[in-house]
Structure 1
């Protein structure tokens, strides 16, 4: 601002100086314009670089988005395949389990029937065994009674036999004693005939 005022003052006094000052102002304006143009060009270059960077980033983002979409599509396909495989396995396992449950139910039913038959047979055998045991107990009691009777009879016969043998032994002993006494008398008589004393011998 100060130089412009000076140029006004000088223009009144000296027209040559005024022309020179005007040229200086124009030159200054030109330099400033050149600088402004350079700054604008730098700014435009920066903006262009930013635009190129943004476009590059946009292209990169689009490419990444396509990759992600492809990956997502692949994942969806894999997910469908896995779901399909799981569904197939589930149906297979369900069918197998259903068949197994039916088979086990049939086996359980058969086993229950077999158990009922076994219990019935066991009860029947138990009753027969109790009947046989009662018959055996009756036979044993009868035999024991007969055995007791036979034992009593044997004891009676044994006592009678022993009593008879005792009597016979007594009779035999008396007979031997009498015979011995007779022989002793005869011996004494024979000794006395020979003049011997039986006590001396």
Structure 2
């Protein structure tokens, strides 16, 4: 059997420990009750806040859905605009390419026509120069003939004039001889009693 002294001490210690543990449990319990009360207060506040925020949340969700739909529409519109612009760009690019090809073809044709016109112009110039040379040669030839004819006509004219002058000189001499004879005969008329006016 154990000694008695020891038993009393142990019981006393156990009692003290038990009281201390009870106090601690009581403190923890009270503290837990306070914590629960505080947490319940927090929960009540949060519930009230949630209750107040709930309509705003619903409104925000509705607005968010509306904004998402609007964004979807805008994205679709953006895609449609991009698609339309891309189509227009391709159409314009095709038209521009066709126009460039047409214009290049026209430029090529016009260049060919220009070359042909330049060749024709060059040919015309050569022909005109040839005609002018021939004309100048003909004019020079005709001028030479004209000069020769003029010289010949002058010679003929001088010869004829000289002949005419000599003939006139001979005729004059004849007239002067006749005139002298006539004057002499006129002077003799009064001798015969004739008037020269009546004859």
Q: TM-score, normalised by structure 2?
A: 0.70
2:109 matched to 1:103?
yes
Rounded Cα–Cα distance in structure 2 between residues aligned with 1:42 and 1:167: 171
Residue in structure 2 matched with residue 162 of structure 1 by the alignment? 168
RMSD, aligned CA: 2.2
1:42 Cα deviation after fit: 4.8
In structure 2, the residue matched to 1:180 is 186
Whole-Å separation in 2 of the counterparts to 1:158 and 1:49: 149
Partner of 1:114 in structure 2?
120
Are positions 1:79 and 2:90 aligned together?
no
Task: Output the CA distance in 2 between the equivalents of 1:40 and 1:95.
Answer: 76
Tell me how far 1:186 sits from its aligned partner.
2.2
CA distance in 1, matches of 2:117, 2:158: 59
Residue of structure 2 aligned with 1:58, choices 55, 60, 64: 64
Q: What is the CA–CA distance in structure 2 between the aligned matches of 1:76 and 1:57, rounded to whole Å?
A: 27
Which structure is higher in RCO with an 8 Å CA cutoff and minimum separation 6? 1
Aligned to 1:29: none
Give the unaligned 5+ runs of structure 1: 1-32, 189-201
1:184 positional shift: 2.3
Using the TM superposition, give the Cα deviation of residue 185 of structure 1 relative to its aligned residue in structure 2, in angstroms: 2.0
Structure 1 equivalent of residue 149 of structure 2: 143
Tell me the matched-pair count.
154
In structure 2, list runs of 5 or more residues that go unmatched. 1-39, 195-199
Deviation at residue 95 of structure 1 after TM alignment: 1.7
Report the Cα distance in structure 1 between the residues aligned to 2:68 and 2:186, rounded to whole angstroms.
158
Q: Which segment is superposed worse, 41-50 or 93-102?
A: 41-50
Alignment of 1:3-22 (within 5 A): none
Query: Following the alignment from structure 1 to structure 2, what is the Cα–Cα distance between the partners of residues 148 and 46?
Result: 141
Structure 1 residue runs of 4+, over 4 Å off?
A: 39-42
CA distance in 2, matches of 1:42, 1:161: 164
Aligned counterparts of 1:51 and 1:181: Cα–Cα separation in 2 = 172
Query: Post-superposition shift, 1:41?
Result: 5.6
